[in-house]
Amino acid sequence: MRTKVGIIGAGPAGLLLSHLLHIRGIDSVVLERRSRAYVEQRIRAGVLEQGTVDTLVASGVGERLLREGLPHQGIELRYGGAGHRIAFEKLVPGRAITVYGQQEVVKDLIAARLAAGGDVRFEVDDVAVHDIGTGKPYVTFGDERLDCDVIAGCDGFHGVCRPSIPEGTLTEFRRDYPFAWLGILAGVTPSADELIYARTDRGFALHSMRSPEISRFYLQVAADDHIDAWPDERVWAELKERLETVPGFTLATGEIIEKGITPMRSFVAEPMQYGRLFLAGDAAHIVPPTGAKGLNLAVADVRVLTEALAAYFDDGSTGRLDDYSRACLTRVWRALHFSWWMTTLLHTIDSDDEYGRRLQTSHLDYVTTSEAAATTLAENYVGLPYGEEG
């Protein structure tokens, strides 16, 4: 087989890249080791930046997003027995976030690619990339070979693409946090209209949602905690302890549909390219979920890569491809800093550190009383505008 762009991974990054390339008349093949049912049901991020929404709508896959997504004009920071709203409509007029599950984005993109006759292959075994440092890279899977001009590694943190780059080529930055997130999906009407980020001496909690009938919650737990230690009754009791801290607020409870523990870490690989292999999304970087940046960074990467590939296939120019990593990493490091800032602002780092708690409270007071500080949070949360590179 032959194609212009071989894409490894059918997550949001790989599927959106294939879709955007199709709009530009550039053919691609997407290879995914999981089944279609698995990737369409995989629960991940749910907060879309303004730029992500605009990208999906402009590319023709935003109809259901606009119909079913939940636009939010603010978030609440809850601490010290009070809630404080960060008002996006005032601080960053015209920019907001939309709550719409990553799995729904994936469903929309798969439907669009298949409707357009796109080549998306699921349950592909033994994927390997070859000759990435030459002008003729190729991909093997099963007993087949795919020749291509460029390979896009959109296969996540544990994928095959990044480890295929020669040892010593990449510089990897990593930070592991001393806690994790226990996340649940519950069949219960959300107890608030907007996301609540709660800081307590018991640890952090987040109240989110996926639809008018489905709620999403997170609890800060120990890094080595195990899901078996968290029966449903304990989860709801702890969520109530951390969220029912303001007068008049009662947390609605119900059936827990899904439950899991996610480690908290940051990771960046530099550069995000080697030869004809270009990394995008989680294959190149991981951010703590506190800042809601993972999916949105993947979309930003793909926008940059699409423009670079379009220029390359149009007239053979390589300037944008050569600059791909630099252009992406500028936004990546900004998002990493924001995610680190939100994480350290809201989580209990050391339960015995009264000094640290006083510093957190002081900074929260500043963010919730200073318009300048609140604007910094708001403009980073809704997503910084795209530059000319993407």
Cβ count within 10 A of residue 293: 28
Q: Contact 286/157 with Cβ under 8 angstroms?
A: yes
Query: Could you list the active site residues?
Result: 72, 197, 289, 293, 381
DSSP code at position 2: B
Q: How far is CA 66 from CA 55, 69, 99, 105, 311, in A?
A: 12, 6, 10, 12, 31
Please list, in sequence order, all residues whose beta carbon lies within 8 angstroms of the beta carbon of residue 35, skipping any fewer than 6 positions away: 122, 123
* Amino acid identity for residue 317 in this structure: S
Closest C-alpha among 209, 217, 214 to residue 244:
217
Number of residues written out for the chain = 390
Strand partners, 77: 84, 197
Residue position matching structure tokens 């000759």: 131
Strand partners, 278: 152, 273
Rounded-to-integer distance, Cα 242 and Cα 80, Å: 11
Tokens of 67: 């119909």
Closest C-alpha among 217, 215, 276 to residue 4:
276
CA 184-37-126 angle, 5° bins: 110
Residue position matching structure tokens 């195990």: 226
